[in-house]
Amino acid sequence: MGRFLVTGGAGFIGSNFVRLLAESTDHTITVLDALTYAGNAASLEGLPPSRCRLVTGSVADPELTQELVADSDVVVHFAAESHNDNSLRDPSPFIRTNLVGTYTLLEAVRRHGTRYHHISTDEVYGDLELDDPAKFTESTPYNPSSPYSATKAGSDLLVRAWVRSFGVQATISNCSNNYGPYQHVEKFIPRQITNVIDGIRPKLYGAGLNVRDWIHVTDHNLAVLRILEAGQIGETYLIGADGELGNKRVIELILELMGQPGDAYDHVNDRAGHDLRYAIDSTRLRTELGWEPVYRDFESGLAATIEWYRANEGWWRPMKQATEARYAAAGQ
């Protein structure tokens, strides 16, 4: 290890990863980020300039990725178009970044023999019924629902093929829904927190029975570091912290923690093809790699996240109005 290339390091999970890496190791870190609407250089402020730099560019640029990978020991690939609702409006950037971008990086790590970790999602497995006792495991068949999750599934399969066909030194992780600081206000939890701050009622899609398996972003990133230390090449690890909760309950909790009546929200148009439930069985990660979540209490993690958005209005304010305008156009 030593020289890290972190793609998508100006996004939500990537910037938290860079911060964790800078604080807990002496590695040098190059962030490759296209600074799309979701990327924000401000999320990397305060990092030591002697060890951390930001290169603005696309993972789908073959020359740039070859050049940066040639100077790296490890590549951690977070960069993606990440929002399901956007993928329903226009799938094209999802194809370019998630599929062509991953292909482009894989060709670069293949050429240079570089260790590669691929960040993916539990959404590749489709969804579960509310009363299904089963959870997703590493052997659950792929069955993605949205253009977003289909491109993430495709990118995972490219990684597996590059491991088998070309001997690329890769691992894959599929994580459940993350929450915490620096998450874009288009996503469920920050959207509702910033709505309440702005005096707007939270917006629940459909009946709100959908269940997500919440994990704090730091627990996700600690698991990624553990996989880089001890994961087996060619293997997949599911990351989850037993955090299943219905969307309706999450909105009620946000309202209560922010001093509002628990029913002060609106039902809005449902998402097309809306996955009902995700649930992760992370036994493999826990037993083989000894990872355990640190943030076990969702309510206190949520309270700290609310405080972060209250204290960092300057970070999210510039994105809020345009985000809400996009939702309003879709009746959401």
Catalytic residues: 122-123, 148
- Site pattern 147..176 for ligand NAD (x: CB under 6 A): -----x----------------------x-
Q: How far is the CB of 264 from ligand NAD (least distance, A)?
A: 25
Q: What b/e string do you get for 171-191 counting C-beta neighbours within 10 Å, with b at 16 or more?
A: bbbbbbbbbbbbbbbbbbbbb
Which phi and psi angles does 181 have, rounded to 5°?
A: -70, 155
| Partner touching 247 among ligand NAD, ligand TDX, none, CB below 5 to 8 Å by kind | ligand TDX
82 sits near ligand TDX (criterion: CB under 6 A) = yes
Asked if 40 and 64 touch (Cβ cutoff 8 Å), the reply is: no
Q: Cβ closer to ligand NAD: 186 or 252?
A: 186
Tell me how far CA of residue 282 lies from CA of 132, 137, 154, 236, in angstroms: 17, 7, 22, 11
| Closest C-alpha to 306, from 244, 243, 254, 247 | 254
Among ligand NAD, ligand TDX, none, the one that 10 touches (CB under a kind-dependent 5 to 8 A) is ligand NAD
74 binds, among ligand NAD, ligand TDX, none (CB under 5 to 8 A by kind): none
Cα separation, 269 vs 272, whole angstroms:
9
Do 40 and 47 contact (CB within 8 A), yes or no? no
* Cα–Cα dist 77/82, whole Å: 13
Q: Work out the burial of residue 314: count CB atoms within 10 Å of its CB; fewer than 13 is exposed, 13-18 middle, 19 or more buried.
A: exposed
212 interacts with, out of ligand NAD, ligand TDX, none, CB within 5 to 8 A per kind: ligand TDX
Q: How far is the CB of 201 from ligand TDX (least distance, A)?
A: 11
Regarding 223 and contact with ligand NAD (CB under 6 A), the answer is no
Contact call for residue 265 and ligand NAD (CB under 6 A)? no
Q: Using the rule CB under 6 A, is 79 a contact of ligand NAD?
A: yes
Number of residues that bind ligand TDX (CB under 6 A): 17
- Decide if residue 84 touches ligand NAD (CB under 6 A): no
Residue 240 within binding range of ligand NAD, rule CB under 6 A: no
Residue 226 found at the interface with ligand TDX (CB under 6 A): no
Q: Which two tokens stand for residue 266?
A: 């609106």
